[in-house]
A = this chain, B = another copy of it.
């Protein structure tokens, strides 16, 4: 039993963080319904986000708390057919979030990253609310909501990262990555959004047809669609509200042609996936499809996941990050995709972001209930672009961005 109330100093820290998430991240508009998704361990920040959202003029803030222990009990105790069931009221809730064009603030940061480690991997992989994931994908692809995801420091996460529960160190790392250490974090974000936006523009000007990753255990070519567009930090809803979907974010990303991935790739970072840690992941692609999965640990979770639907085993995202990113600069592995994907280049199998394609969900764009990023970049991995006219342009060497900025 615990007291989850914040102390005075936590309040200040959490309020500043919440303000950034509400004003810059989700960019909550006056009169908007706000949906907050949090684990119970995130309560201090969920509460601060709620207060800041009302300050920004939210009409109502609905907080949905989840608990991994409840999920663990379900995986252990429920019948097979219930593993992927969506309670109808949760689907109803998700639909209302879309219909109302709500702002969404999702909190991540696993308090017990190994909680599901002793459970059968196939059950863990299947335990996902499929209808809810479909609805969520639809809303993202139709760009209905201004949303953001932020990470909430907690003791268990700090333990996972540092081998000791050094919560203060984790807070400082997170504050650095989201620019809360700046005197004016909002201004710092504006400058950052502009810089990464320029990088996306340069890639779009290049007319990239293919990205080639080459390094130890990796020789992977990923083809783009003629309609693929590189994106920076900022997104726009269908109604024209700008928002920053991830904090931190350092990537430029786009949607590949799901039919065009050839070769093999070795993941360069461990991957926290559904309460398991996948280590030493190696994946082989043929004709866009994952045809072989190996790992030192956790291959079963990945294998179960890519069988979830017809295109789960195909790529849906490709993202480039250089070594100058604030997350990379910390030298830390966060064991959380929100952070680790911003240390280095990554690809994701599963559903694509339609906003990164001119024309949205066209042929070649992956629509899937899965979206799992895994890290493939690093100092030893060269990244080249091949343009539509066949010119090879180096993009990253030794983690350094090669295009002029």
Q: CB of A19 within 8 A of chain B? A: no
Instruction: Find out whether the CB atom of A65 lies under 8 angstroms from the CB atom of B40.
Output: yes
Instruction: Find out whether the CB atom of A73 lies under 8 angstroms from the CB atom of B50.
Output: yes
Q: Which of B1, B10, B79 contacts A41 (CB 8 A)?
A: B1
Complex Cα spacing A40 to B3, Å: 10
Q: CB of A93 within 8 A of chain B? A: yes
Complex Cα spacing A10 to B69, Å: 15
Instruction: Known contacts A1-B10, A112-B5; decide if A82 and B59 are in contact (CB<8 Å).
Output: yes
Instruction: Identify which of A118-126, A153-161, A246-254, A323-331 touches chain B.
Output: A153-161
Instruction: Find out whether the CB atom of B54 lies under 8 angstroms from the CB atom of A63.
Output: no
Instruction: Find out whether the CB atom of A89 lies under 8 angstroms from the CB atom of B92.
Output: yes
Complex Cα spacing A63 to B74, Å: 11
Instruction: Find out whether the CB atom of B92 lies under 8 angstroms from the CB atom of A67.
Output: no
Number of interface residues of A (CB under 8 A): 50
Complex Cα spacing A1 to B62, Å: 21
Classify the interface of chain A: helix, strand, loop or mixed: helix
List the interface of chain A (C-beta within 8 A of B). 1-5, 10, 40-41, 43-44, 46-47, 50-51, 53-55, 58-63, 65, 67, 69-70, 73-74, 76-79, 82, 85, 87-90, 92-93, 96, 111-112, 152-156, 167
Minimal Cβ-Cβ distance residue in B for A40: B40
Complex Cα spacing A73 to B59, Å: 12
Closest 10 interchain pairs by CB?
A54-B77, A89-B93, A65-B65, A2-B2, A47-B69, A40-B40, A50-B73, A92-B92, A89-B92, A51-B73
B-chain residues with CB within 8 Å of residue A10 when the two chains form the complex: 1
Instruction: Find out whether the CB atom of A43 lies under 8 angstroms from the CB atom of B40.
Output: yes
Q: Which of B2, B58, B63, B167 contacts A67 (CB 8 A)?
A: B63
- For the complex with contacts A3-B156, A61-B70, 9 further pairs of A-B residues with Cβ separation under 8 Å are A5-B112, A5-B156, A46-B67, A58-B77, A60-B74, A88-B92, A89-B92, A89-B93, A92-B93
Instruction: Find out whether the CB atom of B69 lies under 8 angstroms from the CB atom of A54.
Output: no
Complex Cα spacing A58 to B153, Å: 34
A2, A5, A54, A58: most-surrounded residue (chain B CB, <10 A): A2
Instruction: Find out whether the CB atom of A87 lies under 8 angstroms from the CB atom of B62.
Output: yes
Closest chain B CB from A15 CB (angstroms): 12
B-chain residues with CB within 8 Å of residue A54 when the two chains form the complex: 73-74, 76-78
Instruction: Known contacts A3-B156, A54-B77; decide if A70 and B41 are in contact (CB<8 Å).
Output: no
Instruction: Find out whether the CB atom of B77 lies under 8 angstroms from the CB atom of A51.
Output: yes
Instruction: Find out whether the CB atom of A89 lies under 8 angstroms from the CB atom of B96.
Output: yes
